[in-house]
Amino acid sequence: MPDSPTLPDLIDMQIRTTGPMSVATYMGLCLTHPHKGYYKGADPLGAAGDFITAPEISQMFGELVGFFVVNLWQQMGQPKACTLLELGPGRGTLMADMLRVACRAEGFRDALDLRLFETNPALIAEQNARLEAYDPNWIQGFDTVGDGPLLVVANEFFDALPIRQFVRTTQGWHERVVGLLEGRRAFGLSPTPLPPSVMPDAVADAAPNAIYEAALAGTEVMSRLAHTVSTQGGAILAIDYGYAMTQTGETLQGIRRHAYADVLASPGDTDLSAHVDFNALGDAAGKAGLTVHPLVSQARFLDRLGIGDRAKALGLANPGAAADIAAARRRLTAPDQMGDLFKAFCAASPGLVPPGFSP
């Protein structure tokens, strides 16, 4: 039986048949093609994979997010049923660390309705192994997410959603596309310029060659969840690398085995991501009626939640691991590591005061 075509072959065939594809279509195929997408394969996390994330660096990250969640539940009057939804839960490490802390609060375990949104079968199996005791349910979409208060957590999820790219030329804005040039994948521009009115005001005066990235998939997810939170009560916490104000600049990147990789070279074998436009997410949440709290750096968020004290306590309890704990804290909070690049975003029902977002 002939081998089934590889993802690069499928993409090239599609381009030959229907013409160049948008960057969003390319990114979507690379990451979540039903059988051959990057996020449909083996677990990509950890030292043996392509990248490492904050919850995999230290349990302190998840424990502090657990405190954040339980504090909001308490502010909401400890509702008897509360849905906790994680988007892109990876290995389930963040949620396991969160729930170890949150379930110490009386009544929280009984109120908990745990939902997970995940595309990767290998990671779903790991999430199940770690979180089985909390009776998780995996959801396929956002039409119904419980009917009571909803708390949403997403770490490094929004950066994995497809973006469209637009390039400014002297004729106007053109969508950037992926096509074939002498048989090799290459970026090009769609021939017809878009009306300037469809571009956000913030990029209206961009110089020729400027690139604007539109996170339409991320904004759609935020909008749908924000509408649900707006009617049912709750909050959305998203931690990711990104920028506070809509701007121009290319951030689409490929990562393979912990190093930068060509975005076009190995579809399906390279992680593709783009920095998150938190301003666009905030607009979507604000339009749904939520209060969007000022963006804070991951360092400030974790400092305010007490990572210093937590690191000290963990170090005293495990003297042999004290140096590793201090190193993990530095990695999560130092400005030249994850501290400034990563930001914490929170949109919440009016009246809630999310911990970590104000002094």
Ligand X SMILES: C[S@@+](CC[C@H](N)C(=O)[O-])C[C@H]1O[C@@H](n2cnc3c(N)ncnc32)[C@H](O)[C@@H]1O
Q: Footprint of ligand X on this chain (CB under 6 A)? A: 31-32, 39, 45, 53, 55-56, 88-90, 94, 117-120, 123, 155-157, 160
Closest to ligand X by CB, 69 vs 199, is 69
User: Closest approach of Cβ 125 to ligand X, in Å?
Assistant: 12
Single-letter amino acid, residue 140? Q
Closest to ligand X by CB, 41 vs 172, is 41
Degrees (nearest 5) of the Cα angle 354, 356, 359?
105
Closest to ligand X by CB, 206 vs 214, is 214
Residue 162 sits at φ, ψ, to 5 deg, of -60, 145
Find out whether 232 and 148 touch, Cβ atoms under 8 Å. Answer: yes
User: Closest approach of Cβ 326 to ligand X, in Å?
Assistant: 21
Provide the 3-class DSSP secondary structure of residue 233.
coil
User: Closest approach of Cβ 2 to ligand X, in Å?
Assistant: 30
d(CA 257, CA 317): 34
Closest to ligand X by CB, 119 vs 297, is 119
User: Closest approach of Cβ 102 to ligand X, in Å?
Assistant: 17
| DSSP strands (E only) in the chain | 21-22, 82-87, 112-117, 137-138, 150-155, 164-169, 172-181, 184-189, 211-214, 234-243, 253-256, 259-261, 271-273, 276-277, 291-297, 342-348
Closest to ligand X by CB, 11 vs 116, is 116
Tokens (6 digits) for 140: 């396929």
Nearest alpha carbon to residue 23 among 240, 209, 185, 248: 185
Closest to ligand X by CB, 111 vs 341, is 341
Closest to ligand X by CB, 248 vs 253, is 253
User: Closest approach of Cβ 157 to ligand X, in Å?
Assistant: 5
d(CA 233, CA 147): 10
User: Closest approach of Cβ 53 to ligand X, in Å?
Assistant: 3
Half-sphere exposure at residue 49, Cβ-oriented, CA atoms within 13 angstroms: 16
Q: Which residue is nearest to ligand X (CB)?
A: 88
User: Closest approach of Cβ 82 to ligand X, in Å?
Assistant: 20
